[in-house]
Structures are given as C-alpha cells and as structure tokens.
Amino acid sequence: MGRQPCCDKLGVKKGPWTAEEDKKLINFILTNGQCCWRAVPKLAGLRRCGKSCRLRWTNYLRPDLKRGLLNQAEEQLVIDLHARLGNRWSKIASKLPGRTDNEIKNHWNTHIKKKLIKMGIDPVTHEPLNNVEKSQQNYQSVQTEEKHSQSEAADAPFASSKETACSPADQNSSSDEASARDNNLYEKDPLISCLFRDDPLQLDFPWEFPSSEEGLTTFSASSWDPSCQWLLDCQDFGVHDFGFECFNDFGVGANRERE
C-alpha cells in the first residue's frame, strides 16, 4: 500500500562500510544510545539508511560481539536449537551471547549444513537422510495440496508430525492452535521454555576468542570485560584508531543499561 521507503534512496550510500563511517556510527551510539534508527544517519552524519546502520551496529560494531568461528559447544547448541525451532535465527542467536543471527545463519549455511549432510543427517528435518526422501515426498504432496486449497493455509503441513514445532515450515504459523501447541511443547521441553524467557542460556563452557597474536583467549559468557580489550584484538580496526579511549569506561556500561 505505497509504503514509504525507509530512507531517502537518493544520496544513500550502499556497500561496505568504511572505517570513517564506523567511527561516526560508534561515536553516535555511544553518545546517544540506540534509538530511532531512522534518525541515526542524519544525526550521526552518515549517508546511509537507518536499516543499514542498525545492521552494521548489531552485526559488527556492537562491543559485546564475539568474533571468530563458533566453537564446538556453540555449534552443537545451534544444531539442537535449529532442530527445535527451524530457521528462527534471532531466537537461536539470543541464546548465544555475543553471536548475531546473521553470523549464525551464515555459519549454518556454510559449515553446519555440510557437516550434517556428511554425517547423513538432513539439515532441514534433522532426520537420517534415508528417511528424509520419504518425508520430503510427503512434504511435497502436502505442499501441492496446500496450493490447491489456500483456505487451509493456516494449518501447518507438519501439524500431525512429531516434528511439529521443529519444522521450519511451521515457523510462520501464527494461529492460536499453533501457539497453543507451541506453549505445550515449551512447557515440556526445558530448552524450549528457556527460549521464550528473556534470559540467555547460562553456558558452562568458556567462550573462546581467536586473538590476533596469542591464539585463543578464554572469556566468561556471563561476564563483561569492562575494558573491552578484546575489541581491540578482534575487530579489524582498533578503538584507538577512532580516538575512542572513552570506550573503556563509558560505552559498554551505557549500552548494557539500555538493554
């Protein structure tokens, strides 16, 4: 219905962010916090759309981000959560502190998917590949039926399957029936019930950071290094490059309070 673009397309820059743009964005958010992304580019002096700023911040500039590949425990958790939730990357990411949905999605598509296939597990259904051929046939026939009968679209194709809440095909279900079904499942499954609370999983393994010079560095998931020293190691630029010595004592605390 003629929705306005999120930003003025004219004069809006696209593509990779420069260090100068990053600097402006970090400076603005550390000073003003996260609010009204639409206004951020103007106020921060950036020729970007608000969406782009939000994405850059959440996926790359946020000081609480971990860098580097997912470790084995994280990977296992992602697989486990994906089996239950499907492609709800943001939900999955919310249980992995310091990881973004984009990062997990990319890691899934480039690494985990292949691993599972190699292991003979279908990455979509999480069932052995032999069974998958059959279930895919069933799925396709259900899909065909659905096309013929749009009015029945509210009923998820996997409604009768034990994979009910696990199937990605079910992820967009918004019917009351579906939510009731979900609630039931969440109550029974501690992991899933945890997903629908706000608190992140308290993982009992240390976070491991690839450090540019000294290999892996351990980092407690629940703790927040106020010095943000890791940022200097893990970002492809340094805070000092931006002249953000203030980052150490101000930025992170301010952001946490807002969250």
Which positions touch DNA (CB under 7 A)? 1-4, 6, 13-17, 35-38, 48, 50-52, 54-56, 59-60, 69, 87-91, 101-103, 105-107, 109-111, 114, 168, 171-172, 174
Q: Provide, rounded to whole angstroms, the least separation between the CB of residue 100 and DNA.
A: 8
Nearer to DNA, 52 or 161 (CB): 52
What is the sign, positive or negative, of the torsion defined by CA atoms of 160, 76, 105, 181? positive
The string of DSSP codes covering 100-146 is -HHHHHHHIIIIIHHHHHHTTB-TTT-SBHHHHHHHHHHHHHHHHHH
Q: Provide, rounded to whole angstroms, the least separation between the CB of residue 148 and DNA.
A: 20
Nearer to DNA, 55 or 129 (CB): 55
Q: Provide, rounded to whole angstroms, the least separation between the CB of residue 22 and DNA.
A: 8
Nearer to DNA, 46 or 228 (CB): 46
Q: How many whole angstroms from its chain centre is CA 155? A: 27
Q: Provide, rounded to whole angstroms, the least separation between the CB of residue 204 and DNA.
A: 25
Nearer to DNA, 86 or 251 (CB): 86
Q: Provide, rounded to whole angstroms, the least separation between the CB of residue 114 and DNA.
A: 7
Q: Among residues 50, 13, 7, 45, which one has the least CA distance to residue 28?
A: 45
Nearer to DNA, 13 or 181 (CB): 13
Beta-bridge partners for 210: 216
Is residue 41 within 8 A of residue 49, CB to CB? The reply is yes
Q: Provide, rounded to whole angstroms, the least separation between the CB of residue 211 and DNA.
A: 16
Nearer to DNA, 88 or 224 (CB): 88
What is the sign, positive or negative, of the torsion defined by CA atoms of 40, 42, 47, 48? positive
Q: Provide, rounded to whole angstroms, the least separation between the CB of residue 138 and DNA.
A: 20
Cα gap 159→116, rounded to integer Å: 25
Is residue 222 within 8 A of residue 202, CB to CB? The reply is yes
Nearer to DNA, 91 or 95 (CB): 91
